[in-house]
A and B are shown apart, each in its own frame.
Chain A
Amino acid sequence: MKTNSRIEKLLGQGAFVVTSECGPPRGADPEVIRRKGELLRGVVDAVNVTDNQTSVVRMSSLSAAVILKGMGLEPVLQMVCRDRNRIALQSDLLGAGALGISNVLCLSGDHQKFGDHPQAKNVYDIDSIQLIQTVCRMRDEGKFLGGEEIKGKPALFVGAAANPFADPFEIRAARLGKKVKAGCEFVQTQCIYNIERFRRWMEMVRERGLHERCAILAGVTPFKTAGMANYMKKNVPGMDVPDEMISRMKGVPKEKQAEEGIRICVETIAELREIPGVRGIHLMAIEWEDRVAEIVKAAGLLPRPE
């Protein structure tokens, strides 16, 4: 084991891993994070802490990760390349190491156009693949990007995101290949609604043998309403929501749509578990952390391993 990461340990033992996520609040109240964390305790193996997701200013992911860590949860520190240059990113990676964070997820980040500060200047000094390389270099070679030696290497298990539904489809496995080549050890995918397309992507991933070098955690998000399904289809770039899903959500009365969304999610998890190379589930219940436990339970994934 390169790190103290619980995900690394469980994957090493061959467990089917369950991760979820927790969006930090738009304020300085630590109780928000603690409440969300409490809902996930014992239900998932690790919790992603998003980094100013959709470019909306929130409590920093590192601070929120430290709060979760203090509760005994296992945070996955998300880091985007939008807001920090290589100096700030490496500095925060050292801080994460010092604060006992064991997992990092390297992302490009949504463009600031989508957020609450569209006037901001973006950074993008390095990209997500280069950030993976940076973390690995710091951890494995003990060197900064600038070449200087690090005294006290950060022991971080390195992850990234993969979107099998973005275009161009034909390079999506090759792009994962680049992330793996850069040193990525696990990926969490974009929410899967189009299972057929995900299967095709997994075939390409297996052809390249990437599933053996990098653990693939399949992403799922339960729909709360038919409106949400429709919104995701139409307005979220790189999201593939088949029409059948929307009709299925619309086919039930409004007050029963949440249950239907959860049912679809549980069925999806069952199908994903059967796909060779899928090593776990990443459950993104957006502002719906209170339903994660029942989804994981219904999917037959409780109790979680020690």
Chain B
Amino acid sequence: MIVGNRKEFGEILEKLGTARRVLVLGCNECVTVCGVGGEREVGVLASELRLYWQKEGQDFAVKEHTLERQCDYEYIDAIRPLTGEYDVILSMACGAGVQYVAEAYKPRLVIPAVNTTFLGVTLEQGVWSERCQGCGSCIVDMTGGVCPIARCAKSLLNGPCGGSSGGKCEIDRDTDCAWQLIVDRLTESGQMERYEEIQPVKDWRTGRDGGPRKRVREDLKL
């Protein structure tokens, strides 16, 4: 899933500027699962705003609403009548959702309340970890199911570097060395001969470096 962090309240206030009629818009997908932008968090942020402006003695209108998805136009479009009453839409979706809402309601101001961070997994309640950088050509079958691009700080395809120590990465003792994990998995599955193969230079065109990506499936188009 897509994982994010909510922005600090102070930063959100600053971004809102003089706007006091705010639609706080959540998303029921990834940001709900990682606890940053679902119905509950929409309620929390809306309450924070109301309390703050109340204390300041200001007039305001803060509306809470959570869409099934902010990355599908049908859901976004369905709230058109609601949006007219507000100066600003404060989106709590990921970076994709925020942009799609902004596109649908231009020229209305749409403000992100969340910093989108990574594609990851839930390690335990309240803990998420990065797993994928969307490079567009997966090789984890070669690396014991561990992605060195997303999980090695240097994205080394032929690691580990000389900074791997006690299973941890040189950048931080709390970060696992991806190549230690890869070696462990290859050893466990009797595939260490794979380690001896040199991974060739990667063609990054399938990733971000090839420019913004778009996918068209003719068979699915209406």
Q: Which A residues have a C-beta under 8 Å from some C-beta of B?
A: 81-82, 86, 108-111, 113-114, 122, 124-130, 133-134, 145, 161-163, 166-168, 170-171, 174-175, 177-178, 181-182, 190, 237-238
Tell me if A111 and B170 are in contact (CB < 8 A): yes
Minimum CB–CB distance for B175 against chain A, Å:
11
Chain B residues with CB under 8 Å of chain A are 153-167, 170-172, 177, 180, 183-184, 195-196, 198-202, 204
Q: A108-B156, A130-B199, A162-B162 are in contact. List 4 more A-B contacts (CB 8 A).
A: A113-B172, A127-B158, A168-B183, A237-B164
Complex Cα gap A170–B198 (Å): 17
| Most chain B Cβ neighbours within 10 Å, of A113, A175, A181, A237 | A237
* A162 CA / B161 CA spacing, docked (Å): 9
Give Cα A111 to B155, complex, Å: 11
Q: Cα distance A127–B152 when bound, in Å?
A: 12
Q: Which of A86, A114, A133, A167: most chain B Cβ within 10 A?
A: A167
In the bound complex, residues from chain A placing their C-beta under 8 Å from that of B158 are 127-130, 175, 178
In the complex, are the beta carbons of B159 and A127 less than 8 A apart?
Answer: yes
**CB-defined contacts of B180 to chain A, threshold 8 Å:** 167-168
Complex Cα distance, B170 from A231, in Å, reads 15
Given A166-B163, A166-B164, A167-B164, A127:B156 Cβ within 8 A? yes
Known contacts A113-B171, A238-B170; A167 and B165 CB within 8 A of each other = yes
Residue of A nearest to B165 (CB): A237
Partner of B170, one of A110, A122, A175: A110
Q: For residue A109, which residues in chain B have a CB less than 8 angstroms away from its CB?
A: 154
Given contacts A174-B196, A178-B198, contact A130 B160 (CB under 8 A): no
Task: Enumerate 26 A-B pairs (CB-CB under 8 Å) in ascending A order.
Answer: A86-B201, A110-B170, A111-B163, A111-B171, A113-B172, A126-B201, A127-B156, A128-B158, A128-B161, A130-B158, A130-B201, A133-B198, A162-B162, A166-B160, A167-B160, A167-B167, A167-B180, A168-B160, A168-B167, A168-B183, A170-B183, A171-B183, A178-B158, A182-B198, A190-B162, A238-B165
Instruction: Give bound CA distance, A134 to B201, whole Å.
Output: 9
**Is B170's CB under 8 angstroms from A124's CB?**
no
Q: With A111-B170, A167-B177 as given contacts, are A237 and B156 in contact (CB-CB < 8 Å)?
A: no
Q: Are the C-beta atoms of B198 and A108 separated by less than 8 Å?
A: no
Q: Tell me whether B154 and A122 are in contact (CB under 8 A).
A: yes
| Contact yes or no, B196 A145, CB < 8 A | no
Which residues from B are CB-within-8-Å of A238?
A: 162-165, 170
Question: Are B198's CB and A181's CB within 8 A?
Answer: yes
User: Are the C-beta atoms of A125 and B196 separated by less than 8 Å?
Assistant: no
- What is the minimal beta-carbon distance from A122 to any residue of chain B, in angstroms? 7
Specify which chain A residues have a CB less than 8 angstroms from the CB of B153 in the assembled complex. 111, 113
The residue in chain A whose Cβ has the minimal distance to the Cβ of B166 is A167
Instruction: Tell whether, in the assembled complex, residue B196 and residue A178 are in contact, meaning their CB atoms are under 8 Å apart.
Output: yes
CA distance A113 to B166 in the complex (A): 19
A281 to chain B, nearest CB (A): 18
Question: Smallest CB-CB separation from B197: which chain A residue?
Answer: A178
Q: B163 to chain A: which residues have CB within 8 Å?
A: 110-111, 166, 237-238
Contacts of B160 in A (CB 8 A): 166-168, 171, 175
Cross-chain contact A108 with B177 (CB below 8 angstroms): no
State in angstroms the CA–CA spacing of A81 and B154 once bound together.
9
Query: In whole angstroms, what is the CA distance A30 to B117 when docked?
Result: 43
Known contacts A167-B165, A167-B180, A237 near B198 by CB under 8 Å: no
The minimal Cβ–Cβ distance linking B179 to chain A, given in whole angstroms, is 8
Which of B157, B162, B204 sits near A127, CB closer than 8 Å?
B157
- The residues of A that contact B202 with a CB separation of less than 8 Å are 125-126
Complex Cα–Cα for A113 and B160 (A) = 17
Residue of A nearest to B204 (CB): A125
Cα distance, A101 to B166, chains bound together (Å): 38
How far apart sit A294 and B166, CA to CA, in the bound complex (Å)? 36
**Cβ B171 vs Cβ A130 within 8 A:** no
Q: Determine the distance from Cα of A269 to Cα of B164 in the docked complex, in whole angstroms.
A: 26
Task: A134 to B200: give the CA distance in the assembly, Å.
Answer: 10
A residues near B157, Cβ cutoff 8 Å: 127, 130
Q: How far is the CA of A175 from the CA of B179 in the complex (A)?
A: 12
- Tell me if B161 and A108 are in contact (CB < 8 A): yes
Nearest to A108 among chain B residues (CB) is B161
- Bound Cα distance from A122 to B154, whole angstroms: 8
Could you tell me if A130 and B200 are in contact, using CB atoms closer than 8 angstroms? yes
- Is B195 in contact with A124, judged by CB distance below 8 angstroms? no
Of B155, B161, B177, B204, most A-chain CB atoms within 10 Å: B161
A175 to B164, CA, bound (A): 13
Contact A124 B183 (CB under 8 A): no
Would you give the shortest CB distance from B140 to chain A, in whole angstroms?
17
Q: Per a CB cutoff under 8 Å, which of B165, B198, B199, B201 touches A166?
A: B165
Q: Which residue of A lies closest to B162 (CB)?
A: A163
A187 to B199, CA, bound (A): 20
The closest CB in chain A to the CB of B160 belongs to A166
Closest to A165 in B: B162
